[in-house]
Structure 1
């Protein structure tokens, strides 16, 4: 097993200089040929810190971008669900390439067959459910927290109703 290379005064000097130049921990590690953990160890020893505000801001921007993309997808899925459902009640054209001579036959029915309606309903439900799950993800609705919130509101409502009851002796005897 290889032993770790000792930290030298040159390593410390370079970390201090690169840190002062505003380089990130990983950029310093790459520049001096050491691991990020070693650079962190040197920085701690030199009482240097790496500003995480830029990373935090970039992460928040990525999260906001992902939320916006999910919101757009959620709306697209709702549109898809509506378009799929509308197909249940519109004329549907069928094409058959059957027979031994592969004769193409085309016909239109006033509505899709029951089997095709089932498939359309399944696709509609999938699009609608996926849209709702995206909304729940971003709003925090549903799940354990949603259930706790609902139960808390129910308990508060029951307590308020109980508080309005007349005392035992005043029931209009």
Structure 2
């Protein structure tokens, strides 16, 4: 139990989260942490949370790239000169077939798949876009404050 508390603490989990994870009371977690010399200061938790946010941001960026690749692959398939599909023959057996056109039902399905991938990618990009906007606003505020601090040449 003590090792698990130490492991969860190292992962950046707070006292309440560890207690919930292990089904124990917070006082028990406090006692174990104290015996192990662990601290639940907010600064340590903040560092772990920031690391987790970066990791999730990187994972979202990877997923966005994969969604764009999927959309591109399906668009390439839709726009290719030939279209490979399976055609069901007599007795229900399917046979690979190459057509010189995209059947309407496949066209609709590919367009829907492309649209879904692009929409999902855009939504994921927006999650991290808010931080970029906040960073830009912060930069502009700092520049504005710095410009106000510069004495005017006419004074």
* TM-score (normalised: structure 2): 0.56
Instruction: Quote the RMSD (CA, aligned, Å).
Output: 3.2
Q: Which residue of 1 aligns with 2:122?
A: 132
1 CA distance for matches of 2:45 and 2:66? 31
Query: Aligned pair in 2 of structure 1 residues 86, 25: CA closer, same or farther (>3 Å)?
Result: closer
Q: Do structure 1's residue 56 and structure 2's residue 46 form an aligned pair? A: yes
SS of 2:98 mapped into structure 1: strand
SS of 1:111 mapped into structure 2: coil
Residue 115 (structure 1) shift = 1.5
2 CA distance for matches of 1:110 and 1:35? 67
SS of 1:140 mapped into structure 2: helix
Q: Which residue of 1 aligns with 2:5?
A: none
Residue 107 (structure 1) shift = 2.7
Query: Per chain length, whose mean CA-contact separation is higher, i.e. which structure has more relative contact order (CA < 8 Å, sep 6+)?
Result: 2
Q: Which residue of 2 aligns with 1:17?
A: none
After TM superposition, what 4+ stretches of structure 1 lie above 3 angstroms from structure 2? 37-40, 101-106
Residue 113 (structure 1) shift = 0.8
2 CA distance for matches of 1:51 and 1:125? 46
Work out the number of aligned pairs and report it: 105
Residue 139 (structure 1) shift = 0.6
Q: Do structure 1's residue 98 and structure 2's residue 89 form an aligned pair? A: yes
Query: Aligned pair in 2 of structure 1 residues 51, 103: CA closer, same or farther (>3 Å)?
Result: closer
- Structure number with the higher helix fraction is 2
Query: Aligned pair in 2 of structure 1 residues 62, 106: CA closer, same or farther (>3 Å)?
Result: closer
Residue 102 (structure 1) shift = 4.0
1 CA distance for matches of 2:127 and 2:106? 31
Residue 122 (structure 1) shift = 0.3
Unaligned segments of structure 1, at least 5 residues: 1-23, 41-48, 150-173
Unaligned segments of structure 2, at least 5 residues: 1-13, 31-38, 138-155
Query: Aligned pair in 2 of structure 1 residues 98, 53: CA closer, same or farther (>3 Å)?
Result: same
* TM-score (normalised: structure 1): 0.51
Q: Which residue of 1 aligns with 2:111?
A: 121
